[in-house]
Amino acid sequence: MSLGGKIAVVTGGSRGIGRAVCLRLASLGATVVVNFVSNPAAAEETVKAIAEAGGRAEITKFNVAVVSEVEAAFKDILERHGRIDILVNNAGITRDGLFVKMKDDQWDEVLNTNLKGAFLCTRAVSRAMMKQRWGRIINVSSVIGFSGNAGQANYAAAKAGISGLTKSVARELATRGVTVNGVAPGYIVTDMTGGLSEEVTATIKAEIPMGILGEPEDVAGAVAYLASEEARYVTGQFIHVNGGMYM
């Protein structure tokens, strides 16, 4: 697979799955725009790692949930590079809590970042991709969006919404050479799972047929495939990267 000459934007690209995706796309030749909102040092580390590997990358700060910031950022990227070929909607947060005790802001923050953010960024690149008649939009969902999970009604709802968004936009853009797909990770070794106790981690592993947690690179491989010409006839689909936890 080669992504030489392509411009890729990865939201939430400063660490975890996002960083792995940035590194993989850059290794295939893409120029990667690494989005962050609160941790510039981590974003710079991602860019440095890409540069040390011989790739090209830059950082851009914007909050995916804020319309004005998204529109300004994508306008700037398009003006500087002339095109955007790949968008990976990876930015996401959690605000866990039992549903009956969940506060409005816990719900709103997660839906705004995880679902509305994907909508805003996708809308911001769609016209350019349609005009150039080539584009790859990859939305990062979660196994939780398909299976549900106690204490994560907001997160599950947002990630389930990503599924509907992906399939609907895929239908609208299919005739213009733009594919829209998703990747649904299971439990991956990231900061989000790093705080789990050994007991909880053991319980999770017992629910996974492969008996292990995944690595960010496992997800990055699926994203890279969907971003490539190899996946030209794949749209409206989800690749589940979860060790068999959800089939």
Catalytic positions: 155
DSSP characters over 35-73: EESS-HHHHHHHHHHHHHTT-EEEEEE--TT-HHHHHHH
How far apart CA 76 and CA 60 sit, in angstroms, is: 10
From the number of C-beta atoms within 10 Å of its C-beta (0-12, 13-18, 19+), residue 163 rates as middle
- Could you tell me the maximum CA-CA distance found in the chain, to the nearest angstrom? 52
Q: Are 176 and 184 in contact (CB under 8 A)?
A: no
